[in-house]
């Protein structure tokens, strides 16, 4: 443990309020990758688990004097829980937490069930809404389909349009778009712009050194994911007025300019996120399900353990060690403060566990190097340098 290190309290809580889904996206880390623990989870988070979770978060808020907590309602597909159950969940969380701290509640949905009553309900409950869509119809239909192969595109776009109505727009948080190498990035970009959304975050598909992501040959000398993102960064960066917020690019710029935190996939800030499964067990970031059966498990539950008990679980600690938790090759890397070795599960390799660069190492290096070059050129035109901005 580095000298002087102290755990960072948790502020982000992902609650698996529904453990099943109405789509069958074939890349989904919950149902189609290494961990199949969803099969033994209750379909919906029980009231006892919700109450105990709220009490554990309240206890954590009091212990660490936290000024805010963010709670994400997740699945499976969280809207399958229905308005009544979601109302009880949000009510319990607010009743026990709002007197102690600021509480933000959001939901990440596939959008299929986002009809007018559901949108009105979420806004009335002050629940922010993020929707998953992989771009244009062709890109989205590559993976985000029903179990019988039917497209989900039209229903998801209808959900997005619903959330953009003036009475709901205040609670629309934007899209999560998983990169599909088989899709043309410019067509994806144009489709996102055509939807008139305010924000998007591009996600890398999940994979490890043992089970690489689609189209990636680790250490193979190619950078297909950087090649996909670079033209979009240039369009976004060069636009006279930024047409939308792209969290991926904004986070990398923020880190390059000397900021900290910003994104779980980049940088060296301690990860302050806990997942609570629908049976009340604490887990690490749920994308760990891409690594192997039980990889996300902590052996602790909301019924038996305070959140502080997770500070004894090695993988939780490693995600909070910053530079000290990384492989030697990352510690020596010239872009490490921006890259941060990528998303924790993407570092996994049998034998060395998480003490590795991300399987996307070459791509992240290439993307960051490109963005840095573009920023340096832009700063030079203004008569300053990246070093000067970082120092200011
Ligand atoms: S680019 Fe590669 S070596 Fe550098 S910090 Fe990222 S993962 Fe580590």
3-state SS string for 271-318: CCEEEECCCCEEECCHHHHHCCCCCCEEEEECCCCCHHHHHHCHHHHH
pLDDT, position 66 = 98
Q: Using alpha carbons only, what angle is made at residue 294 by residues 290 and 295, rounded to the nearest 5 degrees? A: 50
DSSP state of 145: B
pLDDT, position 392 = 84
Per-residue pLDDT tens for 242-264? 989 999 999 999 999 998 876 78
pLDDT, position 36 = 58
Between the two ends of the chain, the Cα-to-Cα distance in Å is 31
- Verify whether ligand 1 is closer than 6 Å to residue 266 (CB atom): no
State how many domains the chain has: 1
What is the distance in A from the centroid of ligand 1 to the CA of 283? 26
Does any domain span residue 1?
no
What is the distance in A from the centroid of ligand 1 to the CA of 332? 9
CA distance 273 to 73: 13
- Verify whether ligand 1 is closer than 6 Å to residue 358 (CB atom): yes
What is the distance in A from the centroid of ligand 1 to the CA of 26? 28
CA distance 163 to 165: 6
pLDDT, position 180 = 93
CA distance 250 to 201: 10
Residue nearest to atom 1 of ligand 1 (CA): 365
Residue nearest to atom 2 of ligand 1 (CA): 361
Ligand 1 pocket mutation, candidates 209, 265, 358, criterion most atoms within 8 A of CB? 358
- Verify whether ligand 1 is closer than 6 Å to residue 280 (CB atom): no
Q: Virtual CA dihedral for 34, 173, 315, 52, nearest 10 degrees?
A: -100
Does any domain span residue 341?
no
pLDDT, position 287 = 58
All residue ranges of the chain with pLDDT < 50 are none
CA distance 244 to 390: 25
The pairing of strands 172-178 and 199-203 is parallel
Q: Which of 374, 346, 379 is nearest to 360 (CA)?
A: 346
Does any domain span residue 336?
no
Does any domain span residue 139?
yes
Exposed (0-12), middle (13-18) or buried (19+): which is 225, by Cβ within 10 Å?
buried
CA distance 220 to 223: 9
- Verify whether ligand 1 is closer than 6 Å to residue 341 (CB atom): yes
Does any domain span residue 179?
yes
Q: Which atom of ligand 1 is nearest to the CA of 336?
A: 5
The two tokens of residue 373 are: 């070059």
Does any domain span residue 268?
yes
The pairing of strands 281-283 and 273-276 is antiparallel
What is the distance in A from the centroid of ligand 1 to the CA of 361? 5
pLDDT, position 151 = 81
Does any domain span residue 361?
no
We report the CATH number of the domain holding residue 227 as 3.20.20.70
Q: Which domain holds residue 168?
A: 12-325
- Verify whether ligand 1 is closer than 6 Å to residue 361 (CB atom): yes
Q: Read off the pTM.
A: 0.90
Q: Which atom of ligand 1 is nearest to the CA of 360?
A: 7
pLDDT, position 220 = 87
Does any domain span residue 356?
no
| DSSP helix, strand, coil percent of the chain (3-state; round to 5) | 40, 15, 45
Per-residue pLDDT tens for 251-306? 999 999 998 876 788 999 998 999 999 999 999 866 565 566 666 678 899 999 99
């Amino acid at each position: 443990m580095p000298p002087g290190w102290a755990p960072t309290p948790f502020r982000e809580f992902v609650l698996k309020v529904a453990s099943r889904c109405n789509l069958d996206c074939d890349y989904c880390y919950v149902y189609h990758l290494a961990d199949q623990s969803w099969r033994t989870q209750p379909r919906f988070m029980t009231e006892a688990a919700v109450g105990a979770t709220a009490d554990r978060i309240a206890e954590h808020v009091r212990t660490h004097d936290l000024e805010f907590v963010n709670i994400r309602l997740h699945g499976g597909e969280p809207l399958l829980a229905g308005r009544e159950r979601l109302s009880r969940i949000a009510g319990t969380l607010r009743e026990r937490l709002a007197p102690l701290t600021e509480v933000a509640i959001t939901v990440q949905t596939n959008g299929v069930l986002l009809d007018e009553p559901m949108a009105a309900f979420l806004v009335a409950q002050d629940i922010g809404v993020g929707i998953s869509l992989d771009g244009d119809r062709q890109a989205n239909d590559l993976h985000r389909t029903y179990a019988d192969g039917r497209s989900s595109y039209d229903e998801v776009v209808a959900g997005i349009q619903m959330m953009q109505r003036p009475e709901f727009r205040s609670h629309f948080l934007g899209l999560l778009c998983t990169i599909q190498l088989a899709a043309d990035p410019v067509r994806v970009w144009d489709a996102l712009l055509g939807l008139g959304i305010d924000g998007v975050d591009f996600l890398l598909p999940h994979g490890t050194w043992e089970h690489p992501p689609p189209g990636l040959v680790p250490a193979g000398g190619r950078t297909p994911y950087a090649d996909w993102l670079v033209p979009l960064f240039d369009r976004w960066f060069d636009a006279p007025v930024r047409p939308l917020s792209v969290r991926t690019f904004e986070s990398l710029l923020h880190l390059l300019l000397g900021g900290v935190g910003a994104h779980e996939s980049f940088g060296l800030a301690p990860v302050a996120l806990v997942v609570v499964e629908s049976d009340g067990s604490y887990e690490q970031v749920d994308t760990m399900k891409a690594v192997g059966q039980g990889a996300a498990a902590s052996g602790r539950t909301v019924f038996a353990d305070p959140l502080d008990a997770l500070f004894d679980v090695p993988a939780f600690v490693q995600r909070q060690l910053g530079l000290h938790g990384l492989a030697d090759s990352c510690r020596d890397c010239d872009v490490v403060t921006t890259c941060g070795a990528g998303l924790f599960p993407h570092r996994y390799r049998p034998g060395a566990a998480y003490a590795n660069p991300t399987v996307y190492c070459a791509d992240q290096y290439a993307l960051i190097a490109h963005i840095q070059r573009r920023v340096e050129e832009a700063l030079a035109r203004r008569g300053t340098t990246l070093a000067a901005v970082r120092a200011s």
